[in-house]
Amino acid sequence: MSRSLSMRGSMRSRRDLPPPEKTIERLESMVAGGNFYEAQQMYKSTSARYITAQKYSEALDILQSGALVQLKHGQVTCGGELAVLFVDTLITGELAYSEQIFDHIRKIYEAFPRITVPHFLGDDYDDEGHQLSEAISAAKVRAESCSSFLKAAIRWSAEFGTSRNGSPELHVMLAEYIYSESPETDMTKVSSHFVRGNDPKKFASMLVNFMGKCYPGEDDTAIARGVLMYLSQGNLRDANLLMDEMKEQLKSANSDFPKTDLIQFIKYLLPTLERDAYPLFRTLRQKYKTSTDRDPVFQELLDEIAAKFYNIQRQNPLEGLFSEMFKI
């Protein structure tokens, strides 16, 4: 076949693709009828044809519709897969980050089910906790599916947006979902996304909530970790905002801020970093080393803070636990 005939065939195939509305309506009816797997395969194959024809907007409409309708019907794995394909299409089409695309991502995110896993066995659970086990398994699937989608979206926004860390709003979404939906909450991971976000007040609310249900000794560690993570990014403003907001929220709830040596260290550290006072910074580290040794990552965070605020070169920059924390 000659090149001209091949090009004409390609152009004709693009013209032959119908508007996606009828396809979307037909596939939504299939999902509503319970044909989840068959509809899933058609969502994938149909969107692939539009992508091949470089009709990215139409492919995105189909994938978003599929993700939303599958999630609406409780098909988290299917919906999550189509959500990731939505982001993959943004990357394939090299589509730049915009508020309009962000709104589409937010709508998919909001469609993921949120079902609190009970922390105790009630009368509705059998002696072996079978229903609780099923609830925990379902929560893991939801958390993994939504996390995979949002992590993909963050990577896209880092490549095609304005922030090298990715969209701050997407980081906040991921932090919220991990905290509220994961049956075993990883507070280090939650905090790492909040500090790359843009909502220290929401972060403070989450920490106050965590204080009400964590084990003794975990509350001050979580607070200190959040503050030190902000500072390791050179973000003194939000580190102070986090502490101030927590104080206000705890005061409103008639609760007390933890009174421990670790919190005392944080209170001394924040004003120290506002000054050219590296000797005082070093003295504080030495005096409160027993407290900061409670979490292995604190020393690495403090090394990074020294590099950010006082230009003290780290021996192993961006290695070890510190670099692991901020991986997407």
Q: Is position 183 within any domain?
A: no
Long-range pairs, 78-83, Cβ under 8 A, ≥24: 78/36, 78/37, 78/40, 79/111, 79/112, 79/145, 80/112, 80/144, 80/145, 80/146, 80/148, 80/149, 81/40, 81/145, 82/40, 82/43, 82/44, 83/108, 83/145, 83/149
Tens digits of residue pLDDT in 118-171: 544 445 545 455 677 888 888 888 999 999 999 999 999 999 998 899 999 999
Q: Is position 130 within any domain?
A: no
Q: Is position 298 within any domain?
A: yes
Residue 289: its pLDDT value, please?
A: 97
Tens digits of residue pLDDT in 20-41: 999 999 999 999 999 999 999 9
Q: How far does Cα 117 stand from its chain's mean position?
A: 19
Tens digits of residue pLDDT in 307-320: 999 999 876 655 55
Assess contact for 252 and 226: CB atoms under 8 A: no
Joined together, the tokens standing for residue 280 give 């005082």
Averaged over 7-22, what is the pLDDT?
Answer: 64
Q: What is the CATH number of the domain that holds 225?
A: 1.25.40.10
Q: Is position 117 within any domain?
A: no
Count of CB atoms situated within 10 Å of the CB of 313: 8
Q: Enumerate residues 6+ apart whose C-beta is below 8 A from 298.
A: 224, 225, 228, 292
pTM for this one? 0.88
Question: 9 or 28: which carries more pLDDT confidence?
Answer: 28
Residue 285: its pLDDT value, please?
A: 97
Tell me the HSE value of 242 on the side-chain side, using a 13 A CA sphere. 30
Residue 52: its pLDDT value, please?
A: 96
Q: Is position 92 within any domain?
A: no
Residue 319: its pLDDT value, please?
A: 57
Joined together, the tokens standing for residue 199 give 């909502």
Tens digits of residue pLDDT in 202-239: 999 999 999 988 888 899 999 999 999 999 999 999 99
Averaged over 76-80, what is the pLDDT?
Answer: 96
Flag whether pLDDT at 92 surpasses 80: yes
Q: Is position 219 within any domain?
A: yes
What's the structural domain count of the chain? 1
* Pure H helices in the chain: 3-16, 20-32, 36-52, 56-72, 76-92, 99-111, 130-160, 168-181, 187-194, 200-211, 218-232, 236-252, 261-272, 278-287, 289-292, 296-310, 321-325
Flag whether pLDDT at 6 surpasses 90: no
Alpha carbons 265 and 121: distance in angstroms, whole number: 40
- Domain housing 249: 198-327
Q: Is position 277 within any domain?
A: yes
Nearest Cα to Cα of residue 202 among 224, 225, 226, 232: 226
Alpha carbons 300 and 68: distance in angstroms, whole number: 42
In Å, what is the CA distance from 221 to each residue of 49, 110, 260?
A: 51, 30, 10
Flag whether pLDDT at 67 surpasses 70: yes
Averaged pLDDT of the chain:
89
Tens digits of residue pLDDT in 291-308: 999 998 999 999 999 999
The model's confidence at residue 1, banded by pLDDT at 50, 70 and 90, is: very low
Tell me the HSE value of 297 on the side-chain side, using a 13 A CA sphere. 23
Q: Is position 138 within any domain?
A: no
Residue 3: its pLDDT value, please?
A: 42
